[in-house]
Structure 1
């Protein structure tokens, strides 16, 4: 079981203050890692730090501030230490019909779910490649697998990072930098509740699509991310892993 240990590893998790990012941070700390959670909501970061304990540090930062990402990465590497694992988990949501989605709406979502993900991955991967080791985990979505209404911008971003992953895997595998993608299904998080709490028909339609007939938990994503970050998956590279209670297959 030592292959699943992250003892001595340092992980940066964007969006780690709540939801899926928090679930991943918790799993990593349980496995022995030191975790740096990054997010723009200071109170969420403080609350997460209190719960996660001494193995957690936090940095307040808006990942859509693309021009400042190289400085962020450099500060983490210099002040905290070399990063072994990057998890791109920061997220936001927009529920809007495609024909009502403005260019500004579309770009706002892509900034969070695609442009910042590329910039962070690029900057951390430069250093990982120099050290000849590193792991990047991207968070996609079931909306990259199945067509869903009212999420055109979100779906576009979550689909595009899969193509980004494949291209970067082809370049970075030689430097022992692995990049994999998790596609969560419908997970019991604040973002999910924001999307469905006022839409009972949509909630029931979603549950009917899930063979397990229940929403997942952040822990389900956390342990999948733990496997992909550990030495147990050292020969796993470029994988698109649904964690969805069978929803993708049922679709």
Structure 2
């Protein structure tokens, strides 16, 4: 206490070093969609998948952002402007992507999502509820549904889905973002049980608070977070490693799982 009185409350500063596995071309020959791939986590998932040999198509609503991302990601990345809340055109979207790839779509990363950060239920509006439900839950649900139906129309039905949820999906919640993610966990597990016999895998990845525009965490700033088990936020590259593993054939024994990427913070006794 004397030290605090004299010196004040200590300030902690943490930087996070990017640690990535060496590319081993685990996704060579695969065509993969990454929704919400123009920035944030989706961008880094696309980047990692390209490093592993995949061809990627990123989607989003902002064409300027998609153009910039595709240019940075290189010749193995293409883009298509599409609103993940546009349920009525999901099947047409999948067909268009298949045409762009010139062949089968081997994987889907359903990543598009928004958060309005209401804090608690007292700040939730009907408009905010609807916008988050439409993109995070309804949009992801019908995107996965359309992709599975596309695979089922092929002779070779094998395919792979990874849905990005959140650590909030593992806890009770009172705001739409967390509720959409909890419901997503449920449909991931159920879809997976109904299609694995056809060779279609469905899994989820539930990141902790990851540096991005949506979270407001600056990857180049102080990554200290005293409420995290390891006192830090996470980098999108870390989460992209897990997604890449699930997209690859080396994880063929895994389906219907929700893998939390928050160092166990969601576990209640923490």
What do the CA deviations read for 1:68-115 (whole angstroms, capped 9, x no partner)? 212111111233232101001111111223133222221110111111
Q: Distance in 1 between matches of 2:159 and 2:68?
A: 29
C-alpha spacing 1:2/1:108, structure 2 compared with 1 (3 Å): closer
Flag structure 1 segments of 5+ consecutive residues without an equivalent. Answer: 196-202
**CA–CA separation in structure 1 for the residues paired with 2:216 and 2:172:** 20
Quote the Cα distance in structure 2 between the aligned partners of 1:107 and 1:242: 26
Matched residue of 1:247: which SS?
coil
Among candidates 48, 69, 76, match of residue 90 of structure 2: 69
Partner residue of 2:70?
49
Distance 2:172 2:211 in 1: 21
Aligned-residue offset at 1:194: 7.5
Quote the Cα distance in structure 1 between the aligned partners of 2:245 and 2:151: 19
**TM-score (normalised: structure 2):** 0.83
**Superposed CA offset, 1:194-242 (max 9, x none):** 79xxxxxxx97xx222122111111011110000000110010011101
Q: Does structure 1 residue 164 correspond to structure 2 residue 187?
A: yes
Residues 1:83 and 2:105 are matched in the alignment: yes
Runs (4+) of structure 1 moved beyond 4 Å?
Answer: 1-4
Q: Does 1:6 align with 2:27?
A: yes
- 2:209 counterpart residue number: 186
Taking the aligned partners of 1:72 and 1:159, their CA distance within structure 2 comes to 26
Deviates more, 1:65-74 or 1:35-44: 65-74
1:35-184 to 2 correspondences below 5 Å: 35-80=56-101, 81-96=103-118, 97-129=120-152, 130=154, 131-147=156-172, 152-184=175-207
Match of 1:213 in 2: 231
Root mean square deviation, CA, Å: 2.2
Note the residue ranges of structure 2 that are not aligned, 5 or more in a row. 1-21
